[in-house]
Amino acid sequence: MSEQAPYLSGLVLTDRRVVVVGGGGVAQRRLPRLLETGARIDLISPAITPTIEGLLGNPSLNWIQRGYVEGDLEGAWYVIVATDVSEVNDQVSTEAEGRRIFCVRSDDRSRATAWTPASGQHDHVTIGVLGGGDHRRSAAVRDAILEELRTGALGARDSVDKSAGVYLVGGGPGDPDLITVRGRRLLAEADVVVADRLAPQQLLEELHPDVELIDAAKLPRGRAAQQEEINRILVDRAQQGKLVVRLKGGDSYVFGRGFEEGIACAEAGVAWTVVPGITSSISVPAAAGIPVTHRGVAHEFTVVSGHIPPGHPDSLVNWEALAHLRGTLVLLMAVENLPEIAKTLIRYGRDASTPAAAIADGTLPGQHSVTSDLGGIAAAMADAGVGAPAIVVVGNVVAVADELRREAVRRTAEAAAE
């Protein structure tokens, strides 16, 4: 006889008692979503994982530090049993059956009265997939559905319950896969997108044909959209009742003038929300194999805008203080002024031999980099044709990364020779 199909249903567990027996990996995976439901959870186990221990600050989670005993399910609405002792799992599921409490078993789904689907959420939609016991298939189907929802390919765009206003979305360092899930969802729902040139350009190809796309590019020493005009457009379109996405590269609040746009919205009485992005100051060095901190090498890193040279009356940077730091210095928008910046740092005491690297087009297919030292990085960039946009990293972490690369090359050569 074939297995009967389960009946899918959404459980409302808010302020209802849920019992989880077992404190290992299965419980660790299930607890976060259970906590989101507002359930009162009793976790029964002699030991728990460090991650679960970190969840105990949530008042909805109570750890009963012992093994399961008969009667522990009194007053429970739902049970998950996830120990590695089959006899204990049998005892729990038997009690649950007698009390008519639905029970999930991690070890034997055929003896359970409930199964946990592969689930996920998009906006106000919850997806649950049961794949007949094939967990990988369930997860793959779930992920495919969620991706379609997030990109707007699944479901009518006009049916989305959208909130008019301005969303300041950080698009990440350039690779379209590095935008946040929420940022991508908002692009799928947008009526208007106001995009910088450093925003992930491939994402613009996915926009619905009806979306109004406004170019807000600011080219160095070239054409540039005025900030006042950008502010006016954001406010105007939002006041028309539209969902406006202001798409920037990196994070909107890291040298992106995002807060200025937020202030303009607030002064006009327009609702606005910031959606943080992955800042290029950390992610681009990482993509090039350079950690901005490393144990025993750098205990701090400083991110500095180099768009104004040292000594300029508008500069807010204390270059002398920066020169005295021992950690990593990350320079953004510094290509044009790098020769003067390097000279200034050296004059104030930073060793000219400090390792340095420059990474252009970080996280994109054309990413390229050059390494040198503080005294020679500007010339090395010019010789290698590394121009803006580029991130410059100054510090001993560059040498650590170079050593790791050399070691990898050596091992590859040795393996090829054998």
Residues 47, 335: Cα–Cα separation, whole Å: 54
What is the crossing angle of helices 227-239 and 258-267, to 10°?
50
* Residue 11 counted as domain residue: no
Looking at 218, 236, 242, 402, which residue is catalytic? 218
Do 325 and 369 lie in a common domain? yes
Q: What are phi and psi of 312, to 5 degrees?
A: -70, 140
- Residue 126 has a pLDDT of 84
> Hey, what long-range contacts does 314-323 have (CB within 8 A, 24 or more apart)?
319/344, 319/345, 319/348, 320/348, 322/348, 322/350, 323/347, 323/348, 323/349, 323/350
Model pTM greater than 0.85? no
- Residue 151 has a pLDDT of 67
Do 333 and 244 lie in a common domain? no
Report the candidate in 67, 9, 61, 70 with the shortest Cα–Cα distance to residue 40.
61
- The three-state secondary structure class of 302 is strand
* Residue 361 counted as domain residue: yes
Do 26 and 97 lie in a common domain? yes
Looking at 42, 72, 175, 196, which residue is catalytic? 196
Quote the DSSP letter at residue 395. Answer: S
* Residue 364 counted as domain residue: yes
Element (H, E) at 120: strand 118-122
Quote the DSSP letter at residue 2. Answer: P
- CA distances for 277 relative to 173, 178, 200, angstroms: 8, 9, 12
- The three-state secondary structure class of 257 is coil
* Residue 8 counted as domain residue: no
Element (H, E) at 86: helix 86-99
Do 36 and 60 lie in a common domain? yes
- Residue 153 has a pLDDT of 66
- Residue 3 has a pLDDT of 62
What is the crossing angle of helices 181-189 and 135-151, to 10°?
50
* Residue 412 counted as domain residue: no
* Residue 157 counted as domain residue: no
Do 46 and 126 lie in a common domain? no
Sheet arrangement for strand 301-305: 301-305, 328-332, 390-394, 355-360, 368-373
The parts of the chain modelled with pLDDT lower than 70 are: 1-3, 123, 151-153, 155-162, 218-225
Could you tell me the two tokens for 352? Answer: 């000219």
Quote the DSSP letter at residue 113. Answer: S
Domain boundary among 241, 260, 278: 278
Structural domain for 56, as ranges: 17-115
Q: Is position 84 annotated as part of the catalytic site?
A: no
> Do residues 233 and 213 touch, judged by C-beta distance below 8 A?
no
Domain boundary among 230, 255, 278: 278
Q: What are phi and psi of 40, to 5 degrees?
A: -95, 110
Pairing mode, if any, of strands 355-360 and 368-373? Answer: antiparallel
CA angle 235, 241, 246 (to 5 degrees): 45
Do 256 and 296 lie in a common domain? no
Do 30 and 92 lie in a common domain? yes
Residues 77, 391: Cα–Cα separation, whole Å: 55
Write the CATH number for 181: 3.40.1010.10
Quote the DSSP letter at residue 160. Answer: S
Write the CATH number for 296: 3.30.950.10
Do 146 and 106 lie in a common domain? no
Total tally of structural domains belonging to the chain: 4
What single string gives the DSSP state of each residue in 29-70? Answer: HHHHHHHHTT-EEEEE-S---HHHHHHTTSTTEEEE-S---T
Q: What are phi and psi of 13, to 5 degrees?
A: -105, 5
Domain boundary among 278, 303, 330: 278
* Residue 410 counted as domain residue: no
- CA distances for 24 relative to 31, 49, 69, angstroms: 11, 6, 18
Do 188 and 217 lie in a common domain? yes
* Residue 416 counted as domain residue: no
Do 97 and 136 lie in a common domain? no
Q: Is position 196 annotated as part of the catalytic site?
A: yes
Do 203 and 260 lie in a common domain? yes
Do 187 and 98 lie in a common domain? no
